[in-house]
Structure 1
Amino acid sequence: MLSGSSASRASHPQARHLLRPLVSGPAVSRPSREPAGWIAPQQKRSFAQKKLPPNTPMPLPFQTKRYGFSSIQSMSGRRLSSSTAAPQPESIEPSGTEAINALIERINENEDQMAQLMDELDLMEEAENADELEEPLAIDGEEYTLESWVQMVRQQFGDTVPDGALNDEELQLYTSLYGEPSIRELTDEDIPEDEKDPGRLFREDGQGGWEEIEFEQSAEAQDDTPVVYDMDASPVLEETIAMQRTREVAEQLGGEVMMEQFVNEAVPDAAPRSHPLTREGKFETEPGTINLPKKTVTGPISIILSEFSNKHIADTAHRLFGGPGLPNSTTTPPPRAQLPQLPIPISASQHHMGEMEANAYLAALYPGIYASVLSVLVEVRKRLGTDWIRKLISQEGGPNVLDASGGGAGILAWRDIIRAEYQLMVPDHPEDAPVPYGRSTVLTGSEALRLRASAMLDNTSFLPRLPDYLHVREKPTLDDSRAAPKRKQYDVIIAPHSLLGFEEDYQRKEYVENLWQLLNPDGGVLVLLEKGRQKGFECIAGAREMLLKRHIASPNSTEYENFLDSPDSSRTIEKESGMIIAPCTNHSTCPMHNSAGPTKGRKDYCHFEQRYIRPPFLQRIMGAKDRNHEDIKFSYIAVQRGQDLRQQQNIQQNSEVTDAAFEGFEHLDEPTSPFHPLSLPRAVYPPLKRRGHVIFDLCTPAGKIERWTVPRSYSRQAYRDARKSNWGDLWALGAKTRIPRKLNLGEKHGEGKKERLARRAADKAASREVDEEGDLERDEEDEEYLDEDDDLSDIPDIPKRKKGQNIPSWKKHNDKKKLRQAYKRRATAEDAE
């Protein structure tokens, strides 16, 4: 049972709330270490078995306000305890001994029933664990220990502590630290305003105290908040001093204050939204970070990999793709790593691939290929428009798509594009109903990879190798008069990470030409993609140069001459219609590509970035614990065969449209002929967002790399959109200044870093030797020029340089200047004589 003092302190829960000024926010009541009015079972038993003297009534400890069994009162947020202390034996009035003994016998008989009742109310468990509750005090989420609570009470009240602020244990600690405090009773002044009863009214009684006033409070006055029944009506605004003064002035002038207008003027206008042309030129997915779909990508891969050991898959991936971090996979290591630029060691077309190698292909390569291909296909869909993709969906049999080197990841990305577009075409289409994906073909050389890809792709054909259309006849010949075999034609061909694996450049060109022959001549689209490194970009740029030179016609280049087919005379070949869809907005020579071949020391190259969330199985392989996303970098090109939007929509790509783009199309209500997204410059590097201005490095339609600056003073809309722009966006709102950007493209067969450092050291050593020889020669010339009888008082005394001595250049120039001036004065004096 609680002692009289402790029960008295527990009866004032408001004392605990006096420390509210020390913390912010509403106070949280301190959890009590033992319930008020609670009696342990062993205490009940000993108390019941104790024989009391005659005529002594037995106090009923169980009839308390908090844990009374006759009626359980509701608990508030405050700390509740027993409202009365146990009566002292001296105050007990004598009564009959028989009544007391009968009462004790009733307690013994009902002990089991009371214990069961306490178990039902969870009081026995709370009582048994009461001594173990050592939870610190929690106020506004902050925990306080016993010592910190005593320190807070000391800082707030000093030596005079309100009754109930400290329990016995805290009081003992307070006494040991600061001495015994003086206890004062709790008054109304100590109780915070929010703890007082809002339904009671007090007034001064004239004697320094307070007396309660009885009054009847209406139901309307109980709620201070006005009730608004009209949902469109706004609550009543309280008139401030400034608003009152404004109203008085308005009344004197014979006018009135429009409160709605006053409020609107006080709140600034919202920032302008993105310009429609800016949104049209965005290079990004929606959302910007790709989360691989679980139903079609990560879920099936996880099921396939669940049959194998995670450690074996990780070891195989590290062995194949360059160790931790998988630098030889689709992941692009940072340039500071200075790792060799190697192709992906395994390809979908190879015929020898084991079970674990196929698992590593799915786990390490599928996520990166899917994310990069999806990003490129979204950009192609934007540039070719809705009519192009809906025409493919509506044609008989649907689109015919070939994944030439992605192992099926490219088909998964393409199907997501088709699914999203078909949902827009048919809004009421059920989610589980089939979607017209068309015909899909995947190149898989090994049986292990084919089995895994077929489990993820339904209605898909698999080819062990690509057909060779470069070395087969196109028409009957003298040796074979039969008609030429029917060729396969694909509407979309996706070829990621397939060019870097070729050792020779001619093999790479033949591969691209073969893919071009596989395209549908009436609008087929070819997507080539490589890692965003120097060598990957050079492979893509080489394929672009070959396609522009031999196949894609431009206004100034409609044919080319082939000297190999006809040695005696040149053979002119007509180019066919076609265009570059992305990322280039010009069909001239790439300003970042050196047509002479690969270069060393290249710093600038065209590539882009896409962020995606790594699936759990790739996280385990990477050993990543803190970062679950990856920014994959890639270089790509998307071209179309047989159709040219430049001719159909009169799209210009030259210096004139570049100048028009520099002026900007911000105030262009209706796009005219000079404007089209394919005639806008593209940001080939991340925009430099500085304080007060944004710098773009743009590849213009004129085929040049320029640096455009958009300051805050240029245009509010343009500056806002420039701050929100990203890498790869097309820019349509112009700029204030433009300058050519200097590019570091390396040199043909140039030197690497080691060779460059060695050359600099050799040049420096050679310059020192030349300086030493020059100084010696000049010294000898000076000695020959001067006679023994000459007066050398006007010649400055410059100490001779010792062998191996390093003299600063400024000291050398200064000494030489003094000697020249001295000799000039001497020569002038001799001529005068």
Structure 2
Amino acid sequence: MRAAGSNARGLLWLSVSRAAGLRRVSGAASSITQQASVARSQRPSPRLSNLTANTTPSQLPSSWVSTQRFSSTAAAPSDSPSETDPVEAINILIERINENDDAMAQLMQDLELIEGDEVVEGSEDPFDGQEYTPEVWVEMVRQQFGDAIPDGVLNEEEMQLFIRLYGQPVIQELNEETAEVESDREPDRLFREDRQGRWEEIEYQQNAEAEDEPPVVYDMDAAPEEVETIAMRRTREVAEQLGGEIMMEQFENEAVPDSAPRAHPLTREGKFTTDPSTIHLPKNTVTGPISVILSGFSNKHISDTARRLFGGPGLPHSTTTPPPRAQLPQLPIPLHASQHHMGEMEANAYIAALYPGIYASTLSVLAEVRKRMGTDWIRRLISQEGGPNVLDASGGGAGILAWRDIARAEYEVMVPDHPEGGPVPYGRSTVLTGSDALRLRASAMLDNTSFLPRLPDYIHAREKPTLEDQRAVQKRKQFDIVIAPHTLLGFDEEYQRKEHVQNLWQLLNPNGGILILLEKGRQKGFEAIAGARDMLLRRHIASPGSTEYGNSLDSSIESPIIIKEPGMIIAPCTNHATCPMHNPAGPTKGRRDYCHFEQRYIRPAFLQRIMGAKDRNHEDVKFSYLAVQRGVDMRQEQGIRQDAESTDSAFEGFEHLDESGHADYHPLSLPRAVYPPIKRRGHVILDLCTPAGKIERWTVPRSYSRQAYRDARKSNWGDLWALGAKTRIPRKLNLGDKHGEGKKERLARRAAAKAGSREMAEEGDFDQLEAEQDDVDDETVEAPVRKRGQKIPSWKKHADKKKLRQSVKLRDAAEDAL
């Protein structure tokens, strides 16, 4: 029984040693361990695993044989040391291991089982330095064997402890084969199935031992080592046979290699997005105060009111832009900051549902205006006496919050030692709020702010004393910045929109005031912005070749010729020609292409609750905008060119600006991306609105320029492009039908035309039918001829085949009728 228990404990130790990655002991050492008589209170020692059965007393150290006194119940020691049984000596030494630790260490060092202070492999302590206790031993047995433990591993006390801790175990009988050490085990082999369903052995290389590996030296500049796959190896072998080499290409998303150069300075200067690109609404000035205001009302009541006002779940009639596939009507925002009748819950819905979107879009536009106007412009406003005078004409205060964040960021750069939370010279702020409920909420978030119940009317006001009223003209209010988001769609008639824009223009400072108009990024929102742009260019902003206009309809003015004043468009247009996406002007049906941009922001918690959104917490708000300056024309002051020649210069690129010495470069003479870049393998396609007033498609391939290709892949919607391109073509636009003909009307007209042709054939009016058929035959009967090397898209092929089939059917019908 003692031998069996020792055997089981030896098996456990061997298993622990194998788990730790140690070397296996020999089969002879296992047989020695089987014959050893080990006390239950002592732990098994693995430190003699390198001894073999052939070890003789003459091979033992002299200190072991001469100094130790052996006593054994099996046999008495002989008088001569040479006759001592080595197995019995080992057993006796194991029994007295606790009393002879120093002698044991000396003996193991003499037998070269330890080297210095380090123990060689195979001599690790299975208890990891812990003192032997029944709990430790039972835990080791449980970890190694689980519930099926070999017979003899645990004594009665340990077995009771095992049952109490883990339950009744399954006792397995010891087998002689399980006692053998796995040193003679067959090495691991790897097989795979061939095409005939049989298994074949394949070779593989095992990892070498850690001690045989050279020391690792880390090179921070070195590229990571690439592991050669089977496909790569086969490709390399084929390339070697053909006498070639492998050219490895990496793509972004596929992407550009990591060693690619950084963004060009002109590319960084032309970026449209904010930094960072996703706006996090500030807690101290926006989300925090709004949360405090809404905390006094029921979340359900606020959500129900917002959904009732803004079109139901998702709030499609708020600043949120629903996707075109939703096919929702394009309605204006039902709540206006200027309306006088607004209840408590409506005011809560206004600040909860509209403030975040207005803030994000206005902040994006202000950041773009600040980039195009330059540092001197905003610092001059901040440093002037009284600071800048800013008017929020329709944002309910959200535009002022966005402007103050821009001013705070610039002031902290101007004054590096400015303490956090210290006062900032924001200037004078004015907000249009028609109702008391909205005014009280806006005043809680805006200090040092004036509130107007309505805007002054400067269009119909007299500019000088008249015969009927000789009093002095009241001094007009003038603002350095006027922010007017989401106001134009609220007017039913076009002339009302023009009057509103003219009134806002009169509110501007004539010495450089900036007007910002902003609408939802839908077709009607773009048409409203484009209409305001055309009106300002036609009546107020002077351009080369257009410095005056005639106004014969207004009888109150003495001269019908009105001289335009200086001014220019700051963003997004880099031209002052007719908008290529608004030609013909006016509302059109079926419009697909229109100028708009987007800005991502993180929804606050209260807006998430109102929308019932659970899958994502961000929103990409789309908007169309216009920023114009009154009284100052940088085109004349700085020599900015916006024509076909500047477009050609931009097409050549300004990547090597310092080397070539271009003198006509300016950000406002660059084309702007009006759609997201199309990234393809090996090239990038950019749809740009050029300074010549054209929409063109520029292609930047990898072969054109490494820097330009890298920046094109990193470019975004709305960026100005300065690094040129290799090819350019006009981009086809779908601007709809000005006469209101959509897809359904167009199909109905074609069906009516076909029905008329059939009626003429039935009535015998063959002359008219033949004349029409001749026109069709001359245009479409002949299949288009493909030029050599020309690649025709598949959709074009199908369209040509369909047109050819229709022409053939009409011709056959005419021939049958004749």
Bin of the TM-score, shorter chain as denominator length: 0.5 to 0.7
Amino acid at match of 1:638: A
| Per-residue Cα deviation, 1:239-263 (whole angstroms, up to 9, x for no partner) | xxxxxxxxxxxxxxxxxxxxxxxxx
Distance 1:82 1:577 in 2: 93
| Structure 2 counterpart of 1:453, from 442, 456, 463 | 442
Alignment of 1:175-574 (within 5 A): 184-185=178-179, 270-566=259-555, 571-574=560-563
- Counterpart in the other structure of 2:689: 699
Residue type of the alignment partner of 1:667: H
Q: TM-score with structure 2 length normalisation?
A: 0.67
Compared with structure 1, are the counterparts of its residues 173 and 507 closer, same or farther at alpha carbon in structure 2 (3 Å cutoff)?
farther
User: What is the 5 A alignment of 1:572-651?
Assistant: 572-651=561-640
Q: Which among 656, 675, 680 is matched to residue 685 of structure 1?
A: 675
Match of 1:715 in 2: 705
Distance in 1 separating the partners of 2:492 and 2:503: 17
Q: Which residue of the other structure, out of 727, 732, 740, is the alignment partner of 1:750?
A: 740
User: In 2 relative to 1, CA 540–171 (structure 1 residues): closer, same or farther, beyond 3 Å?
Assistant: same
Cα 1:414–1:17 shift into 2, 3 Å: farther
1: CA distance, partners of 2:664 / 2:489: 38
Q: Deviations over 1:325-364 (max 9, x none)?
A: 1000000000111100000000100011111111111110
Q: Which amino acid aligns with 2:614?
A: K
| Cα distance between partner residues in 1 of 2:568 and 2:13 | 82
Range with greater deviation from structure 2 (724-733 or 751-760) = 751-760
Q: Would the aligned equivalents of 1:591 and 1:703 in 2 still touch at CA under 8 Å?
A: yes
CA deviation string 1:295-318 (max 9, x = no partner): 111111111111111111111110
- The 3-state SS of whatever aligns with 2:489 is coil
Superimposed CA distance per residue, residues 139-163 of structure 1 (whole angstroms, 9 cap, x where no aligned partner)? xxxxxx989xx9xx9xxxxxx9998
- How far 1:10 moved relative to its partner? 11
How far the C-alpha of 1:672 sits from its partner, in A, is: 3.8
Contact 2:683–2:701 (CA under 8 A) maintained in structure 1: yes
Is 2:723 the partner of 1:733?
Answer: yes
Match of 2:664 among 674, 677, 681: 674
Give, as a single letter, the amino acid of the residue that structure 1 aligns with 2:386.
G
Q: Deviations over 1:590-633 (max 9, x none)?
A: 11113542111111100001111111111111111111110110
Conserved? CA contact 2:279–2:602, under 8 Å? yes
Q: Which amino acid aligns with 1:581?
A: I
Identity, % of aligned positions: 72
Is the contact made by 1:7 and 1:84 (CA closer than 8 Å) also made in structure 2? no
Matches within 5 A, 1:96-175: none
Give the residue type in structure 2 aligned to 1:740.
P
Sort the Cα spacing of 1:633 and 1:234 in 2 relative to 1 into closer, same or farther, 3 A: closer
Count of matched residue positions in the alignment of Structure 1 and Structure 2: 610
Deviations 1:262-282 (A, max 9, x none): xxxxxx982111111111111
Do the aligned partners of residues 723 and 85 (structure 1) sit closer, same or farther apart at CA in structure 2, a change above 3 Å counting? Answer: closer
SS of the residue aligned with 1:747?
coil
Query: Aligned in 2, Cα 1:82/1:755: closer, same or farther, shift over 3 Å?
Result: farther
After superposition, the Cα gap between the structure-2 partners of 1:83 and 1:362, relative to the gap in structure 1 and judged at 3 Å, is same
Give the direction of change, closer, same or farther, for the CA distance of 1:716–1:809 in structure 2 (3 Å limit).
closer
Q: Structure 2: which amino acid aligns with 1:441?
A: T
The answer to whether the 8 Å contact 1:519/1:525 transfers is yes
Task: Give the match's secondary structure for 2:488.
Answer: coil
- Call closer, same or farther: CA 1:817–1:351 in 2, change over 3 Å: closer
| Residues 5 and 151 in structure 2, CA contact (< 8 A), matched pair in contact too | no
* Structure 2: runs of 5 or more not aligned: 22-39, 42-97, 99-124, 186-210, 223-256, 769-804
Select between 395-404 and 664-673 the one with higher mean Cα deviation: 664-673
The offset of 1:186, in angstroms, is 8.5
Measured after TM superposition, the shift of residue 749 of structure 1 is: 2.9
Question: After the TM superposition, which residues 772-787 of structure 1 pair with which residues of structure 2 at under 5 Å, given as runs?
Answer: none
- TM normalised by structure 1 equals 0.66
Structure 1: state its 5+ residue gaps.
22-35, 38-64, 66-75, 87-122, 131-135, 139-144, 154-159, 192-220, 236-267, 779-807, 824-833
Cα distance change on mapping 1:85 and 1:816 into 2, 3 Å: closer
**Secondary structure of 1:580 counterpart:** strand
Q: Give me the whole-angstrom Cα distance separating, in 2, the residues matched to 1:526 and 1:6.
A: 94
Measured in 2, the distance between the counterparts of 1:517 and 1:475 equals 15
Change (3 A) 1:342 1:16: farther
What is the identity, as a one-letter code, of the residue corresponding to 1:445?
G
> What SS class does the counterpart of residue 632 from structure 1 fall into?
strand
Contact preservation (8 Å) 1:579, 1:643: yes
Shift of 1:560: 0.7
Are the aligned partners of 1:612 and 1:630 in contact in 2 as well (CA < 8 Å)?
yes
Change (3 A) 1:15 1:810: farther
The residue aligned with 1:15 is 15
Give the whole-Å Cα distance in 2 for the aligned partners of 1:5 and 1:578: 101
Structure 2 CA distance, aligned partners of 1:728 and 1:381?
15
Rounded to whole Å, the distance in 2 between the matches of 1:234 and 1:330 is: 49
SS in 2 for 1:516: helix
* Partner SS state of residue 318, structure 2: coil
